[in-house]
A and B are shown apart, each in its own frame.
Chain A
Amino acid sequence: MRPLELVLLPGGVALGAVGVWMMLPGAPAERRAPGILLAVAGAALVAAGLPGLGDPLTSALFFVLCGVTLLGAAGTLAFRSPVYAALSFGLSLLGTAGLLFLQGTQFLGVATVVVYAGAILVTFLFVLMLAEPRGRATYDRVGFGPGMAVLCGALLVATLIPTLASMGRKPEGLLRPPPPADARRQGVLASQHVKQLGNELFGRHLVAIQGAGVLLLAALVGAAVLVGQGRTRLPAPRAGQPAQSPGPNQPRPSQGSDIHG
Chain B
Amino acid sequence: MADAEVALLVNYLVVGAALVALGAVGFVIRRNLILMFLCAEMMLQGVSLSLAAWGRYYNDFGGQILVLFIIAVAACEAAIALALVLVLFRRRGSLDVMAWQELREAELPPVVDREIPEMPAEPPPAWPSLPPAGRTPCVPREETEFRPHV
Q: Chain B's interface: helix, strand, loop or mixed, by majority?
A: helix
Quick check: B11 and A53 within 8 Å, CB to CB?
A: yes
Chain B proximity mask over A142-172: 1 for CB below 8 Å, otherwise 0: 1111100110111011001100110110010
**Of A132, A152, A220, A222, which one neighbours B95 at CB under 8 angstroms?**
A132
Contact partners of A157 in chain B: CB under 8 A: 17-18, 21
- Within the assembled complex, what's the spacing in Å between the Cα atoms of A105 and B50? 12
Nearest-CB distance from B42 to chain A (Å)? 6
For residue B56, which residues in chain A have a CB less than 8 angstroms away from its CB? 103-105, 184, 188-189
Complex Cα distance, B3 from A50, in Å, reads 13
Q: Quick one: given A131-B89, A201-B68, are A227 and B83 in contact (CB under 8 Å)?
A: yes
CB closest chain-B residue, reference A107: B64
In the complex, the answer to whether A127 meets B17 with C-beta atoms within 8 Å is no
Total interface residues in chain B, CB < 8 Å: 87
Q: How far is the CB of A109 from chain B (nearest CB, A)?
A: 9
| 0/1 string, A169-186, CB within 8 A of B gives 1 | 001000111110101100
The interface of chain B, by Cβ under 8 A from chain A, is 1-15, 17-26, 28-32, 34-35, 37-39, 41-42, 45, 48-49, 52-53, 55-61, 64-65, 67-69, 71-80, 82-87, 89-99, 102, 111, 113-114, 116, 119
Chain B residues near A34 (CB-CB < 8 A): none
- Interchain pairs with CB closer than 8 A, number: 300
Q: Would A123 and B76 count as touching, CB distance under 8 A?
A: no
On chain B, the residues within 8 Å of A128 by CB distance are: 34
A interface list, Cβ under 8 A from B: 20, 24-25, 46, 50-54, 62, 66, 69-70, 73-74, 76-77, 82, 85-86, 89, 92-93, 96, 99-100, 103-105, 107-108, 111-112, 115-116, 119-120, 123-124, 127-128, 130-132, 136-146, 149-150, 152-154, 156-157, 160-161, 164-165, 167-168, 171, 175-179, 181, 183-184, 187-189, 196-197, 200-201, 205, 208, 212, 215-216, 218-220, 222-224, 226-227, 229-231, 234, 248, 251-254, 256, 258-259
